[in-house]
């Protein structure tokens, strides 16, 4: 018997998930699934952080169930892209996905084909993001713009003098607008070696 997790979401506190719950429990019963967990969010689908969805994905990573049942795909994801990411992640954990309204079932041959397509789209999207970042870095380099953090320009001699005058690391860090760790590292660096040849 497959272990099933139900995920329900309603947009506001005024709505009730009972309709979704009834349909999903009935579907689980008809298909012979054992419901081992139910997760509910009362929050807008556009919100990235949803406690119920987070708990569902944690359970998926721990292998607590074999299949996820939702009333509709838009209940689980805030966008098509997010839906593809969730489905791709569930597939990596060998967890099937069933949507009541759209009749999506990744346990059957058509559903498995859908997962392959979704996985390819998700991978393509990740590659496109990487390529866009690289293109942006190349463009910035060609335009002579610095990439990454600005280089620190600290007067080591002045810091050494202030330290010898009794300034604390915290005070030095504040005065030179940097971290205590940077001040500590700078103070412990060896002074530049002399370029003169020793006879």
Active site residues: 11
> Hey, which bits of 44-119 come out as E strands?
67-70, 96-99, 104-105
> Hey, which bits of the chain come out as E strands?
3-10, 34-42, 67-70, 96-99, 104-105
What's the rounded Cα separation, in Å, for the pair 171 and 10?
52
In terms of C-beta density within 10 A (0-12 exposed, 13-18 middle, 19 or more buried), how is residue 80 classed?
A: exposed
What's the rounded Cα separation, in Å, for the pair 39 and 100?
16
Please give the structure tokens belonging to residue 199.
């006879």
What's the rounded Cα separation, in Å, for the pair 78 and 96?
20
Please give the structure tokens belonging to residue 182.
């940077």
According to DSSP, the residues that pair with 37 across neighbouring strands are 5
């Amino acid at each position: 018997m497959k272990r099933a997790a139900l995920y329900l979401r309603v947009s506001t506190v005024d709505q009730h998930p009972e309709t979704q719950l009834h349909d999903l429990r009935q579907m689980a019963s008809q298909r012979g699934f054992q419901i081992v967990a139910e997760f509910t969010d009362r929050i807008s689908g556009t919100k990235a952080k949803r406690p119920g969805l987070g708990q569902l994905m944690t359970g998926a990573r721990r292998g607590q169930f074999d299949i996820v049942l939702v009333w509709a795909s838009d209940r689980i994801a805030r966008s098509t892209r997010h839906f593809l990411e969730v489905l791709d992640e569930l597939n990596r954990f060998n967890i099937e996905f069933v949507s009541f309204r759209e009749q999506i079932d990744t346990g059957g041959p058509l559903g498995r084909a859908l997962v392959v397509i979704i996985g390819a789209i998700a991978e393509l999207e990740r590659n496109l993001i990487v390529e866009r970042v690289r293109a942006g870095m190349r463009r910035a380099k060609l335009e002579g713009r610095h990439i990454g953090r600005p280089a620190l320009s600290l007067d080591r001699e002045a810091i050494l003098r202030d330290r010898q005058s009794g300034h604390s690391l915290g005070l030095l860090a504040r005065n030179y607008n940097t971290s205590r760790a940077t001040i500590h590292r700078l103070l412990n660096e060896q002074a530049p070696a002399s370029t003169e040849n020793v006879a």
